[in-house]
Structure 1
Amino acid sequence: MDRRSFIKKAGVAGAGAAAATTLAAPAIAQSMPKLTWRCTSSFPKSLDTIYGAAETMAEHVKAATDGNFDIQVFAGGEIVPGLQAADAVTDGTVEMCHTASYYYWGKDATYQLATATPFVMNSRMQNAWFIQGGGTDMLNETFYNGEGLHAIPCGNTGAQMGGWFRKEINTVADLDGLKMRIGGFAGKILGKLGVSPQQIAGGDIYAALEKGTIDATEWVGPYDDQKLGFNKVAKYYYYPGWWEGGAALHAFINLEKYNELPANYQAILSDACYFANASMLATYDVKNPTALKELVADGAVLRPFSQEVLDACNAATQEVYKEVTAENPAFKKIYESQLAYAKDAYLWQQLSEYTYDTYMMIQQRSGKL
């Protein structure tokens, strides 16, 4: 090829490339529009791990879109109270929120099932059901879309503690008349055993416990509970939180706003939520052990719920499931999907995690780890 022929062909190719660039620019602009959304949290900024999941999600969305999709996160109370976050999304006050679905179970019991299903799944099973078991799609198609919402898992605490009590709970009779802050329909379950459930936002629990408005409270686990100072006003720290074997948080997005997003923004938002979901669980797994040791050193008294109490709570739970599934088709469909998966999952985990973990815990207790 001679020099003139090469230059001529290169010029044609260069012009073609320039034209392609010119033509592509509008398409790129359309796929990366400038958007600013508001996300209201149900949590105070002081609870950096649970509140921080929303910030993690927003940071990843912003980075992945070169700053074009900016989600601004607001703490509970800055726009609306924490327990009204989902309502602010459905009425269009904000585009999205970060919350625990079970806060809204009073509107429909189906809201419970996206956060935690008592005596069913742990956090690992829950994430498997969400991601590979069709759970997230089922929740949206069967329930949330009808509420004007699109939901994506955005955080998990892992198995929670059973809470802080002013007195020991040795028998089922000790629950009778107890005023306890407890979220979700676990309060409905405990109500069958004489407990008076109270739904109180995280930032208001300490004052209620200190003043004696409540006798006991559950929140999350050692790291957050230490921040909230519950050990200063209640001595006994019980476990496990059977109502939250793995408590998931969700991003609730206004369905109309979600459907208006370009497909790439929908994918980026979903990926960012799932990253925050995994990151929150890992953060709690790092921070809870240290916090637990510090709480015990500061006077907290660890107590397991007795077999009698757990069995009574489980029996009451099964009663509630029968009552709700008989009258709520959406709840029934989702609950039965979770239960079917859990039956197989526990069979596998008996051979895998449970056996391995039990051996390693024996090594830890004997000082060999």
Structure 2
Amino acid sequence: MKLKKVFGLATGLLAVTLSTQTLAENNWRMATPWSGGPWLERDAQGFVDHVNTLSNGGFNIKLFPGGTLGSALKVTDSVQSGVAQISHNYINYDYGMDPTTALLAGHSSGLTPEEFMLWMYQGGGVELYEQYRLEQFNVVAFPCSILGTEIFLHSNKAVRTLEDFKGLRLRTSGAWAEIASRLGASTVVMAGSEIYSALERGVIDAAEWGSPEMNKPTGFQEVAKYVIFPGIHQSGGVLECEVNKRAWDKLSDQEQNLLRQAGKLSVFDSWLAASYADLDAFEELKAGNNELVELDPSFISAVLKETKAWEDSHAKENTWFAKVLASQRAFKEKIQSWPEYRLQIGKTES
């Protein structure tokens, strides 16, 4: 029997089972930080669609944009309190409570989107993720989207080396704000809505935000001359779905597994869609009026060295940070042989 038929049969049997349950029990609200764009309209909605399909209507999840079910940057609070039964969120918004979130969200560790998926689903990452969120925040969480490699900077100053980076007035946030400061940048935290104006008026020299696809509609390329890559500060990462613990405990094992599998499908879908969209968005940057600048390898090495020092300092005082870091470092050792037998994606000549 073909795999497609097997999957279809399994999905159908699962749907029949779940459709016999009371719909009212699974009328859920989904909180998000997103006001629009691919993370809301494609990724969060895609998860909702997968759940609806797999459950044959056994779940009715209503998706809400950022700010409508509580603070856009405190989605975890909305889920913990039960204002929302589920969310589509970025764990790094809880960085102020625990720096371990940076490891799970993606930081300047060098894990690419593909490596993140391998670590999550084969290297024990997804189990650590769920255990951590449950123990530290009392929510059940699992990956729901993959994050692509970001543009390092939209900048009005060319940055290639560590010397170029020192003194740079940089808009950033989270772990990278700490690490960038240790590397000599002058970091500024501001809302995304303020970045365009700050770049245009010279309040900041540079800003990091997202991948080529995510940056395209912001217009940063219109007010900053240089586009600098690769995004060593955020080479990959994930978005999550969080579920209220009380709502989760009311579900059957089968329903709980359905939500996890819908998350996994959504991760794969988001990787496909975002990776493809990034190709066109980056080509537009190359064809535009900006000057593209590639970071010097010595600077990338400096970033990774400073990141390791930052990791080591947190691991000494934070048990969960140390546990997740050890797992990621073991995975990175394991994957060292990858380029020895795998061709580089997109490489067409020797």
Scaled by the length of structure 2, the TM-score of the pair is: 0.88
Q: Percent identity?
A: 25
Partner of 1:137: 127
> How far is the alpha carbon of 1:26 from its aligned partner?
11
Residue 351 (str. 1) matches residue 349 (str. 2): no
- Structural mapping, 1:211-226, within 5 Å: 211-226=201-216
Partner of 1:339: 329
- Of the candidates 20, 28, 52, which is equivalent to residue 37 of structure 1? 28
Residues 49, 284 of structure 1: 8 Å contact kept: no
- Of the candidates 230, 233, 238, which is equivalent to residue 228 of structure 2? 238
- How far apart, in 2, do the equivalents of 1:199 and 1:33 lie? 42
The 1:356/1:169 distance shift into structure 2, 3 A limit, reads closer
- How far apart, in 2, do the equivalents of 1:26 and 1:156 lie? 30
Partner of 1:307: 297
- How far apart, in 2, do the equivalents of 1:67 and 1:184 lie? 38
- How far apart, in 1, do the equivalents of 2:126 and 2:73 lie? 22
The 1:176/1:273 distance shift into structure 2, 3 A limit, reads same
> How far is the alpha carbon of 1:32 from its aligned partner?
5.9
Report SS of the residue matched to 1:185: helix
> How far is the alpha carbon of 1:157 from its aligned partner?
2.3
Scaled by the length of structure 1, the TM-score of the pair is: 0.83
- Of the candidates 44, 66, 78, which is equivalent to residue 54 of structure 1? 44
Report SS of the residue matched to 2:160: coil
Report SS of the residue matched to 1:83: coil
Structure 1 counterpart of 2:281, which letter?
A: A
> Could you list the runs of 5+ residues in structure 1 that have no partner in the other structure?
1-24, 364-369
Partner of 2:258: 268
C-alpha RMSD of the superposition: 2.4
Residue 161 (str. 1) matches residue 151 (str. 2): yes
> How far is the alpha carbon of 1:268 from its aligned partner?
1.7
Report SS of the residue matched to 2:349: helix
- How far apart, in 2, do the equivalents of 1:142 and 1:157 lie? 20
The 1:204/1:97 distance shift into structure 2, 3 A limit, reads farther
Residues 208, 214 of structure 1: 8 Å contact kept: yes
Structure 1 counterpart of 2:294, which letter?
A: P
Partner of 1:3: none
The 1:72/1:199 distance shift into structure 2, 3 A limit, reads farther
Residues 159, 245 of structure 1: 8 Å contact kept: yes
- How far apart, in 2, do the equivalents of 1:178 and 1:148 lie? 39
> How far is the alpha carbon of 1:64 from its aligned partner?
2.3
- How far apart, in 1, do the equivalents of 2:134 and 2:229 lie? 32
The more displaced of 152-161 and 318-327 is 152-161
Report SS of the residue matched to 2:195: helix
> Could you list the runs of 5+ residues in structure 2 that have no partner in the other structure?
1-15
The 1:27/1:105 distance shift into structure 2, 3 A limit, reads closer
Higher CA-based Rg? 1
- How far apart, in 2, do the equivalents of 1:256 and 1:236 lie? 49
The 1:215/1:257 distance shift into structure 2, 3 A limit, reads farther
- How far apart, in 2, do the equivalents of 1:154 and 1:82 lie? 18
- How far apart, in 1, do the equivalents of 2:186 and 2:88 lie? 27
- How far apart, in 1, do the equivalents of 2:307 and 2:95 lie? 15
The more displaced of 250-259 and 148-157 is 250-259
- How far apart, in 2, do the equivalents of 1:184 and 1:232 lie? 26
Residue 362 (str. 1) matches residue 349 (str. 2): yes
- How far apart, in 1, do the equivalents of 2:299 and 2:166 lie? 12
